[in-house]
Amino acid sequence: MRVQIKTVLILSILLLVMQGPAVAGERAIIPSFHVPSLVTPFSFTMRDPFLPEIAGTVSLYLAMSPPGAAHTVTFFYRNQGSTTFTSIAMAYYDVSGANDYYTCDLFVPQGPIIEYYFRVIATGYDTTYVYGTDYSSSTTIFESTAQAGAFSFYAGPHTATPTVTPTSTPPMTPSATPDPTNTPNPATPTPPPTPTATVQVPTPTVTPTPWVTPTATPGGDGVALDLRINQDFFHPQDHFFLDLEIRYTLQQTIDLRLFVLLDVYGNFFFGSDHWRRWNQTLSWEPITLNAGGTTPLTYVILDFPWPDEEVPPSTQGVFFWTAMLDEGMTLIGNVDHVEFGWGA
pLDDT at 210: 35
Please state, as a whole number, how many other Cβ atoms lie within 10 Å of the Cβ of residue 89: 10
Task: Report the share of the chain in percent with pLDDT over 70.
Answer: 71
pLDDT at 23: 40
268 vs 186, which has greater pLDDT? Answer: 268
pTM above 0.95, yes or no: no
250, 223 in Cβ contact below 8 A? yes
- In the chain, where the domains are located: 1-24+219-344, 31-159
**Fold that domain 1-24+219-344 belongs to in CATH:** Immunoglobulin-like (2.60.40)
| Per-range mean pLDDT, top range of 42-46, 73-77, 178-182, 334-338 | 73-77
Reported as type and span, the H/E element at residue 22 is none
Mean pLDDT, residues 60-84 taken together: 89
pLDDT of residue 91: 96
Q: Are 247 and 224 in contact (CB under 8 A)?
A: yes
* pLDDT over 90 (residue 103): yes
Q: Average model confidence (pLDDT) for the chain?
A: 76
Hey, do 1-24+219-344 and 31-159 end up sharing a CATH topology, with the first three levels equal? yes
Q: What is the C-alpha to C-alpha distance for residues 232 and 24, in angstroms, rounded to an integer? A: 18
Q: What is the pLDDT of residue 21?
A: 41
Q: What is the pLDDT of residues 274-284, one digit of tens each?
A: 887 887 778 89
Average pLDDT over residues 305-316: 67
**Does the pLDDT value for residue 159 go beyond 70?**
no
* CATH code for residues 31-159: 2.60.40.10
What are 161-211's pLDDT values in tens digits? Answer: 444 444 444 555 455 555 555 545 544 555 555 544 444 434 444 333 333
Helix, strand, coil % (nearest 5) of the chain? Answer: 5, 45, 50
| Percent above pLDDT 90 for the chain | 32
pLDDT digits (tens, 9 = 90+) for 199-245: 443 444 433 333 333 333 344 458 899 999 999 998 888 888 999 99
Model confidence band, residue 7 (pLDDT cutoffs 50, 70, 90)? very low
Q: Is the pLDDT of residue 92 over 60?
A: yes
Q: pLDDT band at 97, cuts 50/70/90?
A: confident
**292 CB burial (10 A radius; 0-12, 13-18, 19+):** exposed
Specify the pLDDT at position 169.
Answer: 47
